[in-house]
Amino acid sequence: MSTPTLSLPAPPAVSSEWALFLDVDGTLLDFADVPGDVAVDPGLIDVLAVLHGRLDGALALVSGRRLAQLDELFAPLKLPAVGLHGLERREDGHQERHPRPVALDQAVAWGRALAQRYPGARVEDKGTTIALHWRAAPDAEDLLRQYADSILIELPGYHLQHGNMVVELRPDGAHKGSAVVDLLAHPPFHGRRPVFVGDDLTDEHAFQAVCSHAGFGVLVGSRQPSAARYALHDPAAVRAWLEEGLDLA
Ligand SMILES: [Mg+2]
């Protein structure tokens, strides 16, 4: 596969003055057909642990995954983190979670019955949200999108969030941008220049949030339009950039 040319310049070296917010899938980690199949290199965990110290704690993971999954992936590291695109949050050991509506049980059951027609299609129950994945079954896209549209009627206060070969049903309100703004209101993030690194449409809220707080976004890949100011090619380039930052911070 040829590497696309990036329309944005490479970011400056990581600074110890920053508050660094990192998306996980497609940013730190390469995508897998099944979200549970991703692997984390122990070397990356070491890099994140050292960076967390150099930034005086101002390093957070901001993901669509649940916090419990993030902790499992990056064990033994337990960083400040935002899960489910802002619905779960942990800072200073204090954890918050959004409640689950009863109608989600039926929505998951119906979705799974439909997805069975397409081997590889997946309905992921994330507790408060449902993600419909077709990365391993591209033919299922139309059906899963239609299903997502139809089930919204059963879920007042929910909306669709479109991502990379996935659509997610999630409650209104919280998103990655609002989560980053909340974190920036408190130490160790407060008063630092916020930098968000992410690949997906769902990261655009966060790019806009850091821009409005004198920071900037770093896009992973070449997707446009984007509110990010800089870009890196892929997760391997992000990992190399973070590692280089250890020498310069
Ligand atoms: Mg991502």
For the chain, the domains span 18-97+174-248, 103-171
**Mean pLDDT score, 136-157:** 93
**Mean pLDDT score, 121-126:** 93
* Residue 248 pLDDT > 70: no
CB 108 within 8 A of CB 123: yes
CB 198 within 8 A of CB 223: no
Return the CATH architecture of domain 18-97+174-248: 3-Layer(aba) Sandwich (3.40)
* Catalytic (active site) residue 23: yes
> Cα separations (Å) of 154 from 53, 102, 110, 185?
45, 10, 12, 35
CA distance 86 to 229: 23
- Interval 159-178: pLDDT, tens: 999 998 999 998 887 889 99
Distance 22 CA to ligand 1 centre (A): 9
- Interval 24-51: pLDDT, tens: 999 999 987 776 778 898 999 999 999 9
Residue 146 tokens read as 């239609």
Confidence at residue 78, expressed as pLDDT on a 0 to 100 scale: 92
Question: Considering the chain, what percentage of its residues have pLDDT values greater than 70?
Answer: 95
Distance 54 CA to ligand 1 centre (A): 24
β-strand partners of 122: 133
Confidence at residue 249, expressed as pLDDT on a 0 to 100 scale: 43
Return the CATH architecture of domain 103-171: 2-Layer Sandwich (3.30)
Please report which confidence band the pLDDT of residue 96 belongs to, taking 50, 70 and 90 as the band edges.
Answer: low
Distance 29 CA to ligand 1 centre (A): 9
Q: Select from 47, 48, 54 the least CA-distant residue to 15.
A: 54
* Residue 1 pLDDT > 60: no
